[in-house]
Amino acid sequence: MLDDASIKIIKGDGGHTENYPLEEVLKIIRWLWGRFGNDWFPLGNNVKKLGRGIEVDGLGVAILGLKPKDIGHAQSASYLGVVLEHKGLLEWNGEQKGIKWRIIRPANRVDDLR
């Protein structure tokens, strides 16, 4: 669910929700753009690797960088990536295993995300 202030992801049976304020999403996209430009970047959200600090740079690592103690928030990268893809910001590589995206429309301000 997207509103004027955040992206809310409701998982499974509706019991667990992750909230990504648009300011946070903008920081994530800026980090990814600075690291990868318009090249492909991985999902990067393996829970064990995130917890040990050895996951490859990618969407999950970008999220974790903003909330270092919230592994669950970073692991929801797969959901956030799909939302950003549907918003026309990211392009998916079409793979079920080895998921990657690339930024096709950079966001410079929160209004670009709405």
pTM of the model: 0.91
Q: List, for residues 54-101, the tens digit of each pLDDT value.
A: 999 999 999 999 999 999 999 999 999 999 999 999 999 999 999 999
- Cα–Cα separations (whole angstroms), residue 92 to 21, 43, 83, 88, 99: 22, 10, 11, 10, 7
Burial state string for 34-71 with b = 16 or more CB within 10 A and e = fewer than 16: eebeeeebbbbbbeeebeeeebeebbbbbbbebeeeeb
Compute the distance between CA of residue 44 and CA of residue 113 in angstroms, rounded to an integer.
22
Compute the distance between CA of residue 100 and CA of residue 114 in angstroms, rounded to an integer.
23
pLDDT at 51: 93
pLDDT at 29: 96
Percent of the chain with pLDDT over 90: 80
Residue 11 has pLDDT above 80, yes or no: no
Compute the distance between CA of residue 44 and CA of residue 2 in angstroms, rounded to an integer.
23
pLDDT at 12: 72
Domain boundaries, the chain: 6-113
